[in-house]
Every structure is written in structure tokens, then in C-alpha cells.
């Protein structure tokens, strides 16, 4: 891997991690386009550079993170409730991911499964998006009203994102809307849940494939990917929040469907390795 390829992969990760378009799907697509060999090291690299995006969101939501830290120590009741909701929502994907990690990587880390999930996810956005346009974005519960039982439903939805291309942000935002949160509250909870989920996934892959990753790509390229992901995630998250408040999710639905069609045609024509 060249340094500029690490920079590109970090940028793709940062830009797409918190958008409802699937960062893993985009990273696997860009790896194929760049001619990087598929395998455990490449998959681990795609997941480990998520740490840059994690730092970006932790910085942007530092007040919420600090509130949950105070709640952990018993100094903030609302922070403690939110932390309990995050922990509850985290469990389903963690359990399913540990049980089926090898099966998922062997069968779903290919472009055809990703194309299918891009298309289905895009169609889902377009089907349900009309009911939750920007004019109704303020209707619903705020984050302080979320209870662990509702958080569990969001966590169950997050298990769907173990299929690359589905998008963890998409299913958790939609899950938040379905349990009655406002759009802004659903987005915030999705981002905060992502801190726990992505941190756990990154640590797991680093422990499992860290040596293979460093041997294949080197520590310098890993650091370039992390820093690039951090910078572009800050830009992406700020833009997404502003966009959703005005326009809703529709753009992402059309983007996913169009991308699925373009990549699917390229695969069918033999222009991309599956």
C-alpha cells in the first residue's frame, strides 16, 4: 500500500462512517478499485481505521461523553440513564458479531452482497422517508426520554449492519425513529452508540489481525489512515447534521440505489473483481 492509498482509504472511512451509506461497503469497493488484495489484513485495516472516526465523534459530542462519564460515577442521573441505554443497545450486535464473525467475513465481505444491501437499504430509506421529512424532524421524544427497552430495539436493529453495505448509521437512525425519537435525537444516539460499537469492533480486529495488518501495510500507513479518517469524519458529521435538519434522509436513499446499480453493472460486465 502506498501512502496516498492509505490517505484515500482514511478519507473514505471518515466521510462515510456516520453517513447512512455504509463505510465498510465503500472501503471494500475502493480497495478493489485500487487493486489491494482482499483478505484478513485488508478487512482488518478497513475496520481499524474506524478509530479515527471514533475520535472525531467523541470530540464533537464531548459534552455528552462527559455527562455519561459523570453518570458512571453517580454524579449525573441523566448521564447514567443514557449510558445504560448505550450499553443495552450495544449488547445484541456484540453477541451476534462474536458468534458469527468468521461466517460473515467469509460470505458477506464481497461486492455482490454489498450491492444487494446498498440497494435494499436505499429502497428502505425512500419508502419510509416520506413519513419523516424535515418538517416533522422535531416531532418525537428527546434523548433524555429514551428508555433501555427502546434502546434494546435499536440495538437489535444494529445487528442488521453486520452485513457489510447495510450501514450501522442507517439502521440505528431508522430504529431510533421507529421507537419514537426525533430525527436529531435518533442521529445523536446513533453516533453515541457508534462510539461503543466501533471501539469494540476496532479492538477485536486489532487483537485478531493486528500483526497481519501491520505486516501487510505497515504502521505508517495505518497512522495515515487513522488521521485522514479523523479529519474527514469531523467534516462529514457536521455536514450530515446540518443536512438532515433541513432535508431528511432522501438523498442517501437515492445515492445508495444509484451506487448499487452502477457497481452491479460494473461487476456484471467484469470491470470489478467480486
For helices 3-16 and 183-247, the axis angle rounded to 10 degrees is 100
The pLDDT, as a whole number, for residue 130 is: 61
The residues facing 181 across adjacent strands are 141
Predicted model pTM:
0.85
The pLDDT, as a whole number, for residue 135 is: 43
Reported as a single tens digit per residue, the pLDDT across 69-121 is 999 888 899 999 999 999 999 999 999 988 998 888 888 888 999 999 999 99
Write the DSSP string, 185-248. Answer: HHHHHHHHHHHHHHHHHHHHHHHHHHHHHHHHHHHHHHHHHHHHHHHHHHHHHHHHHHHHHHH-
User: DSSP state, 141?
Assistant: B
Reported as a single tens digit per residue, the pLDDT across 53-77 is 888 989 989 999 999 999 988 889 9
Domain borders along the chain are 3-268
Alpha helices in the chain (DSSP H): 3-16, 23-34, 40-48, 50-60, 62-72, 77-108, 111-129, 148-158, 168-178, 183-247, 250-268
Reported as a single tens digit per residue, the pLDDT across 179-204 is 999 888 999 999 999 989 888 888 88
Q: Which of 221, 258, 210 is nearest to 8 (CA)?
A: 221
Residue 246's pLDDT band, with cuts at 50, 70 and 90, is confident
Average pLDDT rounded to a whole number, residues 220-243: 92
Residue 131's pLDDT band, with cuts at 50, 70 and 90, is low
Radius of gyration of the chain (CA): 18
Amino acid at each position: 500500500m502506498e501512502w496516498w492509498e492509505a490517505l484515500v482509504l482514511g478519507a473514505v472511512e471518515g466521510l462515510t462512517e456516520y453517513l447512512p451509506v455504509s463505510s465498510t461497503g465503500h472501503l471494500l469497493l475502493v480497495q478493489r478499485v485500487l487493486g489491494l488484495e482482499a483478505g484478513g489484513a485488508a478487512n482488518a485495516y478497513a475496520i481499524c481505521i474506524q478509530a479515527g472516526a471514533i475520535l472525531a465523534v467523541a470530540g464533537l459530542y464531548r459534552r455528552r461523553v462527559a455527562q455519561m462519564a459523570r453518570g458512571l460515577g453517580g454524579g449525573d442521573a441523566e448521564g447514567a440513564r443514557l449510558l445504560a441505554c448505550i450499553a443495552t443497545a450495544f449488547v445484541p450486535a456484540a453477541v451476534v458479531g462474536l458468534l458469527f464473525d468468521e461466517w460473515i467475513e467469509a460470505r458477506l465481505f464481497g461486492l455482490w452482497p454489498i450491492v444487494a444491501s446498498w440497494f435494499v437499504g436505499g429502497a428502505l430509506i425512500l419508502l419510509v422517508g416520506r413519513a419523516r421529512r424535515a418538517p416533522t424532524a422535531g416531532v418525537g421524544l428527546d434523548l433524555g426520554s429514551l428508555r433501555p427497552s427502546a434502546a434494546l430495539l435499536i440495538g437489535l436493529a444494529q445487528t442488521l449492519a453486520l452485513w457489510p453495505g447495510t450501514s450501522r448509521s442507517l439502521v440505528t437512525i431508522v430504529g431510533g425513529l421507529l421507537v419514537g425519537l426525533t430525527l436529531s435525537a435518533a442521529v445523536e444516539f446513533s453516533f453515541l452508540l457508534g462510539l461503543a460499537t466501533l471501539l469494540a469492533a476496532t479492538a477485536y480486529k486489532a487483537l485478531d489481525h493486528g500483526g497481519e495488518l501491520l505486516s501487510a501495510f505497515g504502521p505508517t500507513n495505518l497512522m495515515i489512515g487513522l488521521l485522514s479518517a479523523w479529519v474527514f469524519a469531523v467534516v462529514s458529521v457536521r455536514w450530515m447534521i446540518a443536512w438532515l435538519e433541513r432535508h431528511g434522509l432522501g438523498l442517501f436513499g437515492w445515492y445508495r440505489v444509484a451506487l448499487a446499480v452502477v457497481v452491479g453493472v460494473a461487476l456484471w460486465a467484469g470491470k470489478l473483481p467480486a
